[in-house]
Structure 1
């Protein structure tokens, strides 16, 4: 609070206080006393760079004035004005807290030009690139933020300090259903806050503070896109609010519409082809163009070749293959040049299919919705409030056409191949054993792309609802010197999300299996031999469209009381005590085709239904030990606890607690530290999730040629299902992916974490408006809940390169097609959830902010300069994938790849400089990500094991990236009209390119700017 207002308050007998709800809502300072206002107070308010937000009874709510009002008054707002921040339920300021908090205010949000909130956060140093709403394969159509790289399920998302609607069985919030037009600021607690907010805040809390006290009308329209001319975005927001009942109540409603055009990978040279780690003509490592063996012409294998044809009894087949022109057949079999043509040897990689062209780099999306907030101050002791929101998201994802990798039975006399090939089929039938011997049918391994059906389309439609309200109030002083400033809040909120994923242009497996066979001597319905061979009639009969609906519900009822409990020499002892009940429910089901596994290329989906209820009591204490007048300055201790009683056997009574200390030895310097112990109970998906299929990127060691030369690895591959003659053959893995089945595990234990942070904030009086913060963090999650061994790539690595025991859990989870050892549905890796060993991360966050009024400007006005620098140095990110192997640790800092995920740059910064004068504002931001190295190199090297070097890989390092963003806005006088625009990634920097170790589109689109330079222009009108 400015000194002049403090002096006025003392003279006029006006009390200044900081109730958390109102400050957190509108970033304001309330002045309460006998006077509503007078001319002297008005002048002081204007001269302090503030303005009256609203009046309620004897309370005047103040907030930072608009730019024109500040310039007209000649005032400058002090950048270090205290506000109540996230991380505690006891009112305190950003400088006066033991846990580090990072704040992004509305000015920074608008300067970024980001229409979607995920872009604002993923560009901040503390966040890692998870799956965004742009992600296509895999993707959910939702924006899931990932704090510290510990997973979106370990970062709690709040809106105005309360839990928000989640979607899916993993209970994760899609942050793009939060009304961006109403966001006043975003506060991130980067050191964990489970004791204060709940168990899923292990990595921290992201709290979106909304403008729920708005008066007037504000309209905002924005157009954006890529400077290459594609991927346009459109948004329109309209917000209206009014006071009522002599300014004791307020109602605000905000509606928004957002549309985004899609961009296919074919539109970017780096993404429009399938890249693989390979070699050039001189056998130097190189990124080579490749593709999928599942091509439109098809490849047909499971046929003896090479030395196998020299064995006794193979004479007939050898002669038949020679007559058909297939004497040189290899492990990948034969293919065709088109429907009805003769067969030829399948030549790898010339016959591979480029599936990248049809995939989306940016998925098309549409979103619209409305949010409403209201409150009414019946008295100082009673405020009634309510909230409602509804949002609908529609996201289109697209993949290349359905594809088949499996063994099927064909008629020996199939009419769609040449007589020579019919003889090959007959000879193969004579080599089969048991009931299959000479039965007129032949088994062939089929790899085929069904281009006749068109690309697979996945439309995700999600409706999200949230409604609730409560009562709160200030009860004042209840016990003389004790129980002062008592505040209470009781509320209940109900949230629901109804989602459905519609998968179109799928192929029925049962229909296909029947359709390739003759019925009563008639020609088969389906001709799989060659591209375009499937007739329109066959397409009509075999095409199926599927759906996978999901519904989720969240109910939260809470009550909290805060108070200055007792006076102490150094200040009041402040405490809070609360109760919370939560009920989370999720149910998903599939149509019969998905549930039975009848969709080609997919394992059977199992339904999911589960509910988790928890009753919690929690408390917090703030204990001043020494005041500012003591010889060593102000010292304050704080602590918090939370007792959670889940209706789960493993978590029917668990404790979370923290302790912290703040020390301000001199004015402007605050030293802080905090330790927290947290327990996270498994969520619905981790416990009750039914089986669901995916095709993650992974490398099968048994498909590497070196496997055939390594006796131990060769024997292990054979023991886990690879035919002896195919060990080391490329047919064992037909692309850079394998099929996996995910699912829940009702026997999961809770995961436990310990977090400690320590650092300081510095705001020296000798340098006005300068603030420096530095904080060290260390988070360790034991018994972490994850997929088996931490992921599919880790499962393969542990089985074949580390444990090397076919009876081990990781090896037993690997299932292979007995015909050729391929890991493809219905023979998928079982990647169910389990308690792995440990996750651990540590590093240093730092920030510098400084602002300065300048004596020059435009049109006779003064100007203002502001600098904001944020950064994170990552000391450690380590994964211990198996509890029984504590020494097997993947050290992933500075790495990326299929084992570590990531990327995890050691150094990330986001720095912004802003200059404003009159109604003009110019802003520029620099973003930096340091280089990262392929984990195939780093992980074994850091473990003292042998592995590839940089010279062995074509793209061993993704180099550092530096992006520059610029923006400008101009407020036209006092009209309330503002024009704005800008360009992000102004120098059109391309993302780094990799092959086998990629996330999507030969890079990591959720970490790096994948589209190039993106512009935005728009206007805002406030009246």
Structure 2
């Protein structure tokens, strides 16, 4: 293998950094300092920052902005195939979306399911710029965020991270900094790499196979390189980890479902007046309990007692849902139950969490695992054993790079990248056909007269043979309503103990046509109005067995980009230029499985016997079947008993949804760089450039999940509107490196000034010309001590998503942090309905009155039909409707940095950099808490006017009163101020035995992380607390440290890496340091170690290592000793973004060079 050397003596090449050639000046501004160690006073010739050579190692210590370099070895010595996993080890990164984001199934215009992103400083993936060889990477969605899964790890030579703000050089997106992936180039030879990784506890197996081929041509005037890579990663299940099984088996921990998900329950139709069952009948069913123990309240929207059905025999059991403590004692569940008297825990030495009595699910699967666990208060929790710990991935990528010297001063360059990434996600839960997403079931003694609608054409069950309009002995039952008939029901026989609904008369009553069970019939018949329809709620878990998954997605993203350019030098050799044309596109297709077509589901269940032999004629006026389909369901749906429905039934009610999005990007730019003049202290260097860029997107949701759809809404997903948009920008930019002093008096070894500016002309009419600029200093006090820093002002224009997003709903994201209408909050806050709200009793009264008005009829279920102690204690997730805002203006970001780079001793180098980023007019979606405050808070709405804009943006569920919609749009009202200190320490020592010892420490310590939703609200400092706002991640931790210690000798070496996170306080600690969450949900300090080794012999290089060396489990959080019913114990955090959920894992790789 031969690699062309790009050292200081090689001919300069500028095209590889075409969109920001001027960044070379950032590296060269310290040339005097670097050269002072080599040859005092000598200036290094101008060269681009992407060249290889000895300067790369010291670049982090010599640039004027904080820079960290991640070398190729970091990507080789790991089992991870996602490059974001490697970068997130650096303290400057805050995990955004990673392989551990497993439960996201909601594809939207701005959310790419399965994509991975990076976030510098926690400011969000849309505020750092990802480059590939100095050019903008192809974005995957309208947030202008690239999917790092599309970047092949084997092609990476190194990654340069500029974390001090770089908008003047690269563009306004670089508010938080730049992540520049430098790919291999100018390669000659062939290299094959094979890598395998596996986990000790199962799942997450990785296989990487890559090849790199390069050849020189035409007497070394040109070079062509081709690389290809194939990566796979298998899924990892949560139940494969003993710590999670211990959580499942512990009866004193919360379950993994929103509710008990494996059985239907019967109640009244949402929104109808109260129609409760007879308390005497309820007491007779639960006759082993004292009378009145089980309330007879049949809610009309999820409230009241949940009377669930044992699918094995049709008997009724009941249990708790969330905090609604409405039932105690024995619950009569007949499924397999793990009682938990001797529950195992992975923390007990020698105890294993397998072969548990009473384990498995209702279909006999997952034997040895605790799915149903009886808790101390008699409740049965159901654990979600279908969830994943890590997502699977398949990636095939190819890249090519080439250049040809047309003459001594002109070179043609080209680059191409194509990748296809396939990922999957799985929520685990089936579609939530509960409450208002449930279905009506005809019930009572009224005669069922069929459905004459021609689309259904269901005949009447009663044939009036006497034509007298009265059911008598001479009448008949329609043949379809017999045991052997179409619907398979019994109607003519007299009542029996097994079928007490029978009346012995011709025809079918509604209860005969929809046979339930003796206990269900007794319960619903005892209502004050027994002939009203029943309402069935059921999470159809049978879908998991039928289609092989619950709510899940398969995501395929294809990304391609092509670049063609010219570059060269002027004859004088003092100036260089380049021109390039870049074009790219990404196509994303997401197939969503496991949801339910609400109309189809209800139509099937509206047919006798829960849809048995149901058919639907889509065009009853075409009698020959021409150009139409007639879907049918032979088995019906499993409501009263468990069975696998026919494929036709599943296809009818559970469609496969397809969402598609296309992104395009075209960039044309030219650059000029060189020396303007020779000054006393050195050459006055410059860089000039002009760029034209256009981007566009088109998002098309499946027509069934489009808000304009009139066919059916989808239970399990939320509707979105098709979105599209485009913009373009023309920019001119330049930089100057001004040497002021060289070899000056004591205390001034050199002093350089670095100036830069960029003018951007956007196509949006409301946007003025934006002027971004910077001023940095480089002051070498001595050859070993240098002060650096300066000021960057950036104006970030709104991205495509912020401008053009149409109505988009996402469950559980952007909802309120607490339900302000609750009278039972753990932390009342300022303006809630909970007694003790800091605004006083008048505020509590106003909030209660306004919430009742917002709920309408739902106030009965929320407030009156349950005790205060059953109202929510914390968040009321809600479903926000998000909208883009085409009138958005730019946000202003000012970045200040001040640091010192020190060559302490011969073997030690240290940099310490302070930074502060202030963002005004910040573009963000207004938080739901802010909307509630503007509506309810007596200081904002003293008269309690429900017609204010904020109140009109709030909708409560009219059936249950629970949190509903909050409409929110992007605004320019946010503010953020982040500050902190970066530290980097390097030490290397050549030992007497010929080996080398080295140490690298990278640390970050945030000082402030302040956000403010609006200027009229109080700012919140998130530093040290597990919280954030304005769609950012925040770094939170008081500090983070990443340490590497290595030793190498000859052809082998090894290293040990350590990541450290200190304690992170729960958000409630801010105002309630003695609260349960502060005490029991504060994350403890956390350590992760890894060890790696490599050896090279002849043409072969072997890497092997162990990650999570000590098999560290995630911390156990969330205990609540004061929990109603029993003391709730902690569960292990599933936050794989920080805490490692995979455990110990191993990898080995072999690289063969030819």
TM over 0.5, yes or no? yes
From 410, 430, 437, the equivalent of 2:441 is 410
Provide the C-alpha distance between the structure 1 equivalents of 2:959 and 2:893, rounded to a whole number of angstroms.
45
In structure 2, the residue matched to 1:374 is 402
Aligned runs of 1:271-670 on 2, under 5 Å?
271=244, 288-289=254-255, 291-293=257-259, 295-301=261-267, 328-329=295-296, 331-338=304-311, 341-348=314-321, 354=382, 356-400=384-428, 401-407=430-436, 408-413=439-444, 414=511, 415-418=514-517, 421=520, 430=529, 441-442=532-533, 444=535, 446=537, 448-452=539-543, 454=545, 455-477=550-572, 485-518=574-607, 529-530=639-640, 532=642, 535-536=645-646, 538-595=649-706, 596=709, 598-631=713-746, 632-670=748-786
Using the TM superposition, give the Cα deviation of residue 650 of structure 1 relative to its aligned residue in structure 2, in angstroms.
3.0
SS of the residue corresponding to residue 955 of structure 2 reads coil
Structure 2: gaps (5+ residues): 25-37, 39-49, 106-112, 287-291, 298-303, 323-377, 445-510, 615-635, 826-831, 836-843, 1121-1128
Using the TM superposition, give the Cα deviation of residue 416 of structure 1 relative to its aligned residue in structure 2, in angstroms.
3.4
Which stretch of the first structure deviates more once superposed, 888-897 or 319-328? 319-328
Using the TM superposition, give the Cα deviation of residue 505 of structure 1 relative to its aligned residue in structure 2, in angstroms.
2.8
Using the TM superposition, give the Cα deviation of residue 933 of structure 1 relative to its aligned residue in structure 2, in angstroms.
0.8
Q: Contact 2:1003–2:1042 at 8 Å: present in 1 too? A: yes
Deviations 1:60-93 (A, max 9, x none): x9965xxxxxxxxxxxxxxxx33499xxxxxxx6
Deviations 1:935-987 (A, max 9, x none): 1222xx3xxxxx46354556331011111111000111xx2101110011100
Q: Does 1:1010 align with 2:1141?
A: yes
Provide the C-alpha distance between the structure 2 equivalents of 1:610 and 1:626, rounded to a whole number of angstroms.
50
Aligned runs of 1:194-213 on 2, under 5 Å?
194-213=167-186
Q: Does 1:813 align with 2:924?
A: no
Using the TM superposition, give the Cα deviation of residue 583 of structure 1 relative to its aligned residue in structure 2, in angstroms.
0.8
Q: Contact 1:550–1:589 at 8 Å: present in 2 too? A: yes
In structure 2, the residue matched to 1:717 is 851
Provide the C-alpha distance between the structure 2 equivalents of 1:355 and 1:149, rounded to a whole number of angstroms.
33
Q: How many residues are aligned here?
A: 908
Using the TM superposition, give the Cα deviation of residue 163 of structure 1 relative to its aligned residue in structure 2, in angstroms.
0.7
Which stretch of the first structure deviates more once superposed, 565-574 or 261-270? 261-270
Provide the C-alpha distance between the structure 2 equivalents of 1:521 and 1:302, rounded to a whole number of angstroms.
17
Deviations 1:479-524 (A, max 9, x none): xxxxx62011110111111110101232111111222224699979
In structure 1, the residue matched to 2:1093 is 968
In structure 2, the residue matched to 1:777 is 915
Aligned runs of 1:169-318 on 2, under 5 Å?
169-271=142-244, 288-289=254-255, 291-293=257-259, 295-301=261-267
Provide the C-alpha distance between the structure 1 equivalents of 2:932 and 2:1037, rounded to a whole number of angstroms.
25
Provide the C-alpha distance between the structure 1 equivalents of 2:56 and 2:17, rounded to a whole number of angstroms.
7
Structure 1: gaps (5+ residues): 31-47, 49-60, 65-80, 86-92, 431-437, 478-483, 857-861, 942-946
| RMSD of aligned Cα (Å) | 3.8
Q: Does 1:744 align with 2:866?
A: no
Q: Cα–Cα, structure 1 residues 1009 and 187, in superposed 2: closer, same or farther, change >3 Å? A: same
Aligned runs of 1:848-859 on 2, under 5 Å?
848-856=985-993
Q: Does 1:1019 align with 2:1150?
A: yes
Which stretch of the first structure deviates more once superposed, 1002-1011 or 502-511? 1002-1011
Provide the C-alpha distance between the structure 2 equivalents of 1:316 and 1:219, rounded to a whole number of angstroms.
72
Provide the C-alpha distance between the structure 1 equivalents of 2:55 and 2:198, rounded to a whole number of angstroms.
38
Q: Contact 2:192–2:1151 at 8 Å: present in 1 too? A: yes
Provide the C-alpha distance between the structure 2 equivalents of 1:227 and 1:797, rounded to a whole number of angstroms.
49
SS of the residue corresponding to residue 125 of structure 1 reads coil
Q: Cα–Cα, structure 1 residues 796 and 963, in superposed 2: closer, same or farther, change >3 Å? A: farther
SS of the residue corresponding to residue 572 of structure 1 reads strand
Q: Cα–Cα, structure 1 residues 903 and 638, in superposed 2: closer, same or farther, change >3 Å? A: closer
Which stretch of the first structure deviates more once superposed, 517-526 or 678-687? 517-526
In structure 2, the residue matched to 1:67 is none
Provide the C-alpha distance between the structure 1 equivalents of 2:663 and 2:276, rounded to a whole number of angstroms.
63
Aligned runs of 1:15-34 on 2, under 5 Å?
none
Provide the C-alpha distance between the structure 1 equivalents of 2:850 and 2:1010, rounded to a whole number of angstroms.
28
SS of the residue corresponding to residue 687 of structure 1 reads helix
Deviations 1:610-646 (A, max 9, x none): 1111111111111111112445321111111111111
SS of the residue corresponding to residue 358 of structure 1 reads coil
Provide the C-alpha distance between the structure 2 equivalents of 1:898 and 1:300, rounded to a whole number of angstroms.
40
Larger of the two Rg values belongs to structure: 2
SS of the residue corresponding to residue 234 of structure 1 reads strand
Provide the C-alpha distance between the structure 2 equivalents of 1:800 and 1:357, rounded to a whole number of angstroms.
41
Deviations 1:255-308 (A, max 9, x none): 1010001001222244458899xxx99xxxx85446322622134446899xx9
SS of the residue corresponding to residue 570 of structure 2 reads strand
Q: Contact 1:296–1:530 at 8 Å: present in 2 too? A: no
Q: Does 1:979 align with 2:1089?
A: no
Q: Cα–Cα, structure 1 residues 298 and 566, in superposed 2: closer, same or farther, change >3 Å? A: same
Provide the C-alpha distance between the structure 1 equivalents of 2:151 and 2:72, rounded to a whole number of angstroms.
14
Aligned runs of 1:868-887 on 2, under 5 Å?
868-885=1000-1017
Provide the C-alpha distance between the structure 2 equivalents of 1:701 and 1:384, rounded to a whole number of angstroms.
63
Q: Cα–Cα, structure 1 residues 629 and 248, in superposed 2: closer, same or farther, change >3 Å? A: farther
Q: Contact 2:883–2:970 at 8 Å: present in 1 too? A: yes
SS of the residue corresponding to residue 85 of structure 2 reads helix
Q: Contact 1:682–1:750 at 8 Å: present in 2 too? A: yes
In structure 1, the residue matched to 2:895 is 755
Q: Cα–Cα, structure 1 residues 961 and 218, in superposed 2: closer, same or farther, change >3 Å? A: same
Provide the C-alpha distance between the structure 1 equivalents of 2:694 and 2:313, rounded to a whole number of angstroms.
60
Q: Contact 2:773–2:793 at 8 Å: present in 1 too? A: yes
Which stretch of the first structure deviates more once superposed, 394-403 or 109-118? 109-118
Deviations 1:902-936 (A, max 9, x none): 56211111111111111011111111111101112
In structure 1, the residue matched to 2:999 is 867
Deviations 1:280-337 (A, max 9, x none): 99xxxx85446322622134446899xx98xxxx798666766776962352432222
Provide the C-alpha distance between the structure 1 equivalents of 2:1094 and 2:1134, rounded to a whole number of angstroms.
33
Q: Cα–Cα, structure 1 residues 915 and 23, in superposed 2: closer, same or farther, change >3 Å? A: farther
Give the structure-2-normalised TM-score. Answer: 0.73
SS of the residue corresponding to residue 544 of structure 1 reads coil
Provide the C-alpha distance between the structure 1 equivalents of 2:18 and 2:772, rounded to a whole number of angstroms.
25
In structure 2, the residue matched to 1:76 is none
Provide the C-alpha distance between the structure 1 equivalents of 2:893 and 2:233, rounded to a whole number of angstroms.
39
Using the TM superposition, give the Cα deviation of residue 222 of structure 1 relative to its aligned residue in structure 2, in angstroms.
0.6
Using the TM superposition, give the Cα deviation of residue 816 of structure 1 relative to its aligned residue in structure 2, in angstroms.
2.4
Provide the C-alpha distance between the structure 2 equivalents of 1:927 and 1:835, rounded to a whole number of angstroms.
37
Q: Contact 2:15–2:567 at 8 Å: present in 1 too? A: no
Task: Answer 1 or 2: which has greater strand percent.
Answer: 1
